[in-house]
Structure 1
Amino acid sequence: MEQLLRFWTEAAGSGPLEWIAVLTGFACVWLAARESLWNFPVAIVSCGLYVFVYRQSTLYADMGLQVVFIILALYGWYQWLHGGQNRAELPVSRTTRQEWVGCAVFVAVFTLAVGYYLQHHTDAALPHWDAFTTAGSLAGQFLLIRKRLENWFIWIVVDIIYVPILWYKQLYPTSALYALYLALAVYGYVEWRRALRKNATRSVPLSA
């Protein structure tokens, strides 16, 4: 009971910037799970706010990640609108083997290189975990931009790790947000799988 009271007291004391970032972040992932294009402008607002939140908490890799997310959101917005055949709307599809290999290599190299730099040249908290979640988030965002169904698998792994990291850094509202992200990632997978099956049904030609 005492720990629960402490949580609510410290969470209530979090700055308004973090709370606004939390609310817009939740809205962004919910909209993505619903395949709504509005997830991208909302993501830009949320990531812009988190640049300042993570800077104050010395999570530098995550701070830089927000800047990259803003750029990727602009690109993803265009891709979802015109990334399909003949510049049509991009449909949900499966991740290719080459994409899986590319993501795995990227995450491994990024984690080792950035984690080493953060550990030896900054006062970053949890440098290698910070680097790993950053790399995983970039891989997940890349697959989300391409509307690959399996992007949600990566987000599930990343969210599971983020929850205790953010709690440790006393970013309690954001830690709770990532717990909600975890549930939304499962929901997003179910919704996108349904959309994939619907697209597959439409693409099957009717017999004469």
Structure 2
Amino acid sequence: MTWTEIAGFVTGALCVWLVVKRNIWNFPVGIANYIFFFVLFIGAGLYADAGLQVVYFGLALYGWYSWLRGGEDHTALKVHNPTLPQFLACLAAVGAIWAAIQFGLHRYTDSTVAGWDAITTALSLVAQFMLSRKWIANWWLWIAADLIYIPLYAVKGLWLTAGLYGIFLTMCIVGLMEWRTARAKMLAAENPAT
């Protein structure tokens, strides 16, 4: 266990809790988390996950703006569902990103877990984009990624990080339920029964 793993644990748990609560401060806390995990993953040979932290950084900046000004007339973005074509495009993006990253890891690195590293990276990238748009379906991709991340980090000996992703998994399930409830309440308030 290193200081970067501990710092990643603390900032990661706080970030996801803030996301569950739909709190805008998840983005600056997330940026700190991405820096800690970038350093950790480079040291563990999880190169795709390290690269993912760089992309997360950019997506966090986009999400921060989007949550504040991405709604109608540049207002705050509300929790909502993607359209079916948007969701299918996201799933197609997961497949394309997975294939590209796996190819790159096999060809250019000494990764021993290229396929698993690639699929978790692909799921996480698309989930982070979906989160930036405040789409409820982001939680399903995070759940799928966490179910793979937990044993992957355990195999790499990153026990604290594996435990953190166990916590993330639980928080994702809570987040899914809370965001669905928030959406239902918002719709009920917009369309009261007559």
What is the CA distance between 1:47 and its match in structure 2? 0.3
Residues 21-62 of structure 1: CA distance to partner in whole angstroms, max 9, x if unpaired? 111001000100000001000000000111110000110000
Provide the C-alpha distance between the structure 2 equivalents of 1:201 and 1:146, rounded to a whole number of angstroms: 21
Residues 96-135 of structure 1: CA distance to partner in whole angstroms, max 9, x if unpaired? 1122221111111111121022112211130011111000
- Tell me which residue corresponds to 1:200: 187
TM-score relative to the length of structure 1 = 0.91
The amino acid of 2:152's aligned partner reads: I
- Tell me which residue corresponds to 2:2: 15
- Tell me which residue corresponds to 1:155: 142
What is the CA distance between 1:206 and its match in structure 2? 6.6
Q: Which residues in structure 2 correspond to 1:39-54 (within 5 Å)?
A: 39-54=26-41
In the alignment, which of 121, 128, 152 is matched to residue 165 of structure 1?
152
Calculate percent identity across the aligned residue pairs: 39
**Paired residues, number:** 194
Matched, 1:191 2:170: no
Q: Which residues in structure 2 correspond to 1:35-74 (within 5 Å)?
A: 35-74=22-61
Q: Unpaired runs of 5+ in structure 1?
A: 1-13
Q: Unpaired runs of 5+ in structure 2?
A: none
In the alignment, which of 81, 100, 116 is matched to residue 87 of structure 2?
100
What is the CA distance between 1:160 and its match in structure 2? 0.4
User: RMSD across aligned C-alpha pairs, in angstroms?
Assistant: 1.1
Bigger radius of gyration? 1
Provide the C-alpha distance between the structure 2 equivalents of 1:104 and 1:180, rounded to a whole number of angstroms: 25
Provide the C-alpha distance between the structure 1 equivalents of 2:164 and 2:34, rounded to a whole number of angstroms: 14
List structure 1 runs of 4+ shifted beyond 2 angstroms.
none
Provide the C-alpha distance between the structure 2 equivalents of 1:15 and 1:140, rounded to a whole number of angstroms: 27
